Amino acid sequence: MEELSHWIDGKEVKGTSGRFSDVMNPATGEVIARLPLATPAELDAAVRSAEKAQVGWAATNPQRRARVMMKFAQLIQDNMDALAELVSREHGKTLPDARGDVQRGLEVIEVCMGAPAMLKGEFTDNGGPGIDLYSMRQPLGVVAGITPFNFPAMIPLWKMGPALVSGNAMILKPSERVPSTSIMLAKLAQQAGLPDGVLQVVNGDKEIVDAILDHPTVQAVGFVGSTPIAQYIYGRAATNGKRAQCFGGAKNHMLIMPDADLDKAADALVGAGFGAAGERCMAISVAVPVGDKTADALIERLIPKIEKLKVGPYTAGEDVDFGPVITKAAQERIDRLIESGVDQGAKLVVDGRGLKIQGYENGFFCGPSLFDNVTRDMEIYKEEIFGPVLSTVRAQSYEDALNLVMDNDYGNGTAIYTADGDTARDFASRVNVGMVGINFPIPVPLSYYSFGGWKKSAFGDLNQYGPDAFRFYTKTKTVTARWFSGIKDGVALNFKAMD
């Protein structure tokens, strides 16, 4: 069986802890590799190496760092299929979805090519007699990224691109379930010209996460995962004086107004609810049709579309709609939540439980499930299911539907389908959610904006990628300079001396 490695100082390094985690193929249920779990001592060695390498990297001018990003982007593009294969093998995504995972990360690297413009400071000439003021953006030093299983390429790229091009060194701790993509990305970054030691990939579990949070040299931590863990990491990082941006769970609603194109709304719900087996923090998991007539017509359209979905392993071809969920435990949790919905009175319109695929009987497959008549007190509404389950909560008015979203603990993404511009504009203005789609089901912003939720979906002041990422991974230094040509000597005892 393959034994994976860490990536330290520009080479693969075997673990020394003697502790391992199994990496599985979710489609077969088989263990395909063993992953070493690092010790705090191994992390410390990687951090000290990164700290040393960061000095020279930070001294490299931004334009040259951007050229590395340019070469990195081309290498990612050239190796798209190989990266997608790794994503699919360890995560279970279909190959088209895996390519999309890589592509959305690549787009952030493309924005990083423009880093010199993002990193420039400001200048004020003659702010006072002989006084100039200017600011500069400087890297933090060594930073860390802790990334989830559901996007093995995209989110590591979201973290590493802005951090590295800003002049930092990064310790990347990918999910132990999907580690191979991060190692391959590190190799490609090296080929692009990234100096050894500037990017370190250290595998581990909670022990290594805590070591990162407590390490005095690590200046900032970026995390994506569940809300309880995001809150834990944010609190511990802040206690230790680190910057932190921590993104957690979601319960994303889509409103369907009576004037909406219901065929397009149904197509959007099927794609946004069941793509990637629902394992997306931006998945639409709650449909909110306004009015019973709208709800009945929507359900009528959804059922045949959902029943036609093809579930299977990525190796079955590109006509597979989605693959397995990540683990047996995830599969069992999804089944339990579906059972709770039935027990609590929701109507299970399409039942995806018990799906078995010939030749892949041990895979972690869940068929698509659709609920109607879900209420906000039910467990399937309150929990983030993170699986191929769509719940329908009927609302009797626009205000009722809006309040449902507003009252929810999560605020990652939301959408509305309507033909009325006033309703759409009102919704976008009033809803307390970080990313809003209008006739657009998964409103993940393009890479030159920033990604981030509200409420319990995010902890920290700055979002991922785009302008916020460059603010997060740099600190501002402001210089006030005076040259004494033509300035009379004298003692200044108050701020008016600058006037």
Helix (H), strand (E) at residue 347: strand 347-350
Tell me which of 112, 246, 281, 366 is the catalytic residue.
Answer: 281
Query: What's the rounded Cα separation, in Å, for the pair 76 and 184?
Result: 10
Assign 222 to helix, strand or coil: strand
Residue 171 phi, psi dihedral angles, 5° rounding = -100, 115
Contact 7, 199 (CB under 8 A): yes
Q: Are 248 and 226 in contact (CB under 8 A)?
A: yes
Tell me how crowded residue 115 is: count the other CB atoms within 10 A of its CB.
21
- Helix/strand/coil (H/E/C) assignment for every residue in 350-414: ECCCCCCCCCCCCCCCCCCEEEECCCCCCHHHHCCCCCCEEEECCECCHHHHHHHHHHCCEECEE
Give the helix ranges, DSSP H, for 126-261: 154-165, 180-191, 206-214, 227-239
Note if 366 is an active site residue.
Answer: no
CA distance 161 to 139: 13
- Contact (Cβ atoms closer than 8 angstroms) between residue 238 and residue 69: no
Question: Which residues are marked as active site?
Answer: 281
